[in-house]
Chain A
Amino acid sequence: MMALLLAAVLALVALLPGWFGGFPPGRLLGLAAGHAGLALAGVVPAALLGLALGVLVTRPSGRALRPAADAFAAAAQAVPPVVAVALAVPAMGFGWGPTILALLLYGIMPVLRATVAALEAVPPEARLAALALGYTPAGALREVELPLAWPLVLGGLRVALVLAVATAAVGALAGAATLGTPIVLGLQNQNQILVLQGAAATASLAFAAEGLLLALAGYAAARGGRSSASPASSAGAAQSRKP
């Protein structure tokens, strides 16, 4: 709730100067829609990939890939989003391309990490019990492990989405039209109103993303708590802050 409130306040800060000669509110809203669309378009395939990879490296057959996945995650963390966007420019040119590439890269990591951590936090007895009851390994994964792991995975999704909003803002440096555009324009023309509007709008969108995913996680935890009363899910929701 706190995050959504902050998002609303920041949105007001971003939009108000528009009526007094700042960046026009209509264009700001258009950029916000583009920004949100871009972040989602990048984060959804990345999250699916991260989830799939996370499941893969926790299966007995894929366990040997685990060190490689960890190394990949650590290496990607060493490359800040700005640098990733900048490095993609020579290969893809100015525009949406570099940003989408960076979004894909940064979307995978948090979801992969959260999925691995969540699946490892599932008590082995739960899986063994499901297998003893006659579930196939795939069935146990779908019906037992993933539902128990879901709240922690949602935490990873939230981090990925907030990171995607930030990365899309940086994409303005590489020519993508996002809420970072007023910031870059303002910095170039020494127009501090524009900088403040862009910054407030970007932060507002990030808080909105955080708030929505937190609400979703709360809903999932409440439902999970009723249906299976699992200790893993409530513990997961409590400790799922940023990595």
Chain B
Amino acid sequence: MRAGEVGRALLGLVVLAGLLLPWLSVAPNRLLPGVAASGFAAISWAAPAALVAVVLAVPQRLPAWLGAPAALAGVALLLTATGWAAALSLEGLAPAARAGLGGGFWLGLVAGAALVVARAAALPGMGRAVLAAFALLTLLLLWQAGTFEALSLVVEYRAREAVVHAALLRHLALAGAALALALLLAVPLAWAGFRRPGAAGPVGAALGAVQVVPAIALFAALIPLLAGLLALLPALRSLGLGAIGPAPAVLATAGYLALPLWRSVLGGLTAADPAAVAAARAMGMTEGGITREVRLPLALPVFAGGLRVAVVQAIGLVTLGGLVGAGGLGALVFEGLAQFATDLMLLGALPIMALALAADALIRLLEHRLGGSA
């Protein structure tokens, strides 16, 4: 048995464990804990079939073009059956009753999806793209058909659709603002460090020290510090700066993003072979021309790597903005935490994770493009 097979077999066992754990629970309302049923009880007819389909992705002997789609079909079956079971379990109950997803469902879903991805890794690029498109299309069709409307999470989303969309946009705006501010800080500092290497050491130490400060401490500490600053310089208030709200969130997040950006810009600029730079100079290129024609093309892939780390961190860190009154998806997470409303928490947390993973994958793609052309 090969190691890849062992890993996939472990994932298959996790799917099985998920089906044995609480899968779906029916509660009288959105806050009370419900009566949970295991996967084999909640979706009794579909669970064994889905398990078999998912496990087809495990053996190496079965070709990937068979195993990966089979596992995908198994995951889709799990999703569909869970949606239907939720609708069925709510029949005849009061309108406030909720059918919530249990820990077993999430465990099974994540492990099943991981199995699909792991087996699809053996497919050629075209096959993976087709499989991904097919997965997205299936999900979209199931959603359009209203398969998931009875699930507590979707009910919660329907009740707060406008709030969630606004929070998502605000989250992106905060992350974007922090990224822009960090770039404004990091790029000139990196340029200065490149021109005068002696300056790079202290700048790196200072930016590194910020990384050590726990995020919650920096976000929180900026409130009294900004309040003090505003008391000294009330004119700043007219610029829209406040001690509570987006200002501390954007400032603190930018503080953490500065190091990866600074390091990648500096690393990219110094990536050019000194011999290539000397050759360009000997050919009569100006300093600006060398930077544009020689250094930048070599710097871009390195910079894309730093940008990826910074974007993923920005999306995650801005979450804490919910604590300091900046809003965003973090506000939903903390509101859910305060109310002990799991679904509300998930409405904030799931988009954060999806955004971070999507940003990571997109910029990785860009990196490969840049790396390939350079």
Residues of A within 8 A of B (CB): 2-3, 6, 61-65, 67-68, 71, 74-75, 77-83, 86-87, 89-91, 162, 165-166, 169-170, 172-174, 180, 183, 186-187, 192-193, 195-196, 198-200, 202-203, 206-207, 210, 241-243
Contact = CB atoms under 8 A, between A and B. Distances in A.
B317 interface: yes
Interface stretch (B81-89, B190-198, B349-357): B349-357
A89 B345 contact: yes
B221 interface: yes
Contacts of B6: 65
A173 B337 contact: yes
A82 B333 contact: yes
A187 B208 contact: no
A62 B337 contact: no
Nearest to B343: A90
Interface in B1-39: 2-4, 6-7
Contacts of A202: 214, 216-217
A22 B356 CA distance: 39
Nearest to A67: B121
Interface of B: 2-4, 6-7, 103, 114, 117-118, 121, 204-205, 208-209, 211-218, 220-221, 223-224, 227, 259, 309, 312, 316-317, 319-320, 323-324, 330, 333-334, 336-337, 340, 342, 345-346, 349, 352-353, 356-357, 360
Given A80-B352, A195-B224, A3 B342 contact: no
A200 B221 contact: yes
A207 B209 CA distance: 8
Nearest to B317: A80
Q: Is the interface of A mostly helix, strand, loop or mixed?
A: helix
B208 A183 contact: no
A83 B316 contact: yes
B104 to A, nearest CB: 10
Contacts of B218: 199, 203
7 contacts: A2-B205, A82-B320, A89-B340, A165-B214, A183-B220, A206-B214, A241-B208
Contact of B349 (A3, A64, A86, A206): A86
Given A80-B319, A90-B103, A173-B334, A198 B220 contact: yes
Contacts of B259: 242
Given A180-B216, A210-B212, 4 more contacts: A79-B316, A82-B330, A86-B336, A89-B342
Contacts of A79: 316, 353, 356
A202 B208 CA distance: 17
Question: Which 6 pairs between the two chains have the least Cβ-Cβ distance?
Answer: A80-B316, A166-B214, A64-B3, A199-B221, A78-B356, A199-B217
A64 B319 contact: no
A166 B204 CA distance: 21
Most buried by A among B208, B220, B324: B220
B212 A78 contact: no
Contacts of A241: 204, 208
Contacts of B103: 90-91
Given A187-B323, A199-B217, A90 B342 contact: yes
Given A78-B360, A83-B353, A183-B220, A63 B3 contact: yes
A118 B103 CA distance: 36
B360 A65 contact: no
Nearest to A94: B340
Contact of A183 (B2, B217, B337, B356): B217
Contact of B324 (A62, A75, A187, A207): A187
A81 B349 CA distance: 11
A215 B10 CA distance: 40
B259 to A, nearest CB: 7
A166 B316 contact: no
Contacts of B205: 2
Contacts of A183: 216-217, 220
B349 A68 contact: no
Contacts of B121: 67
Contact of A87 (B118, B211, B345): B345
A61 B345 CA distance: 41
B118 to A, nearest CB: 7
Contacts of B4: 64-65, 68
Contacts of B340: 89
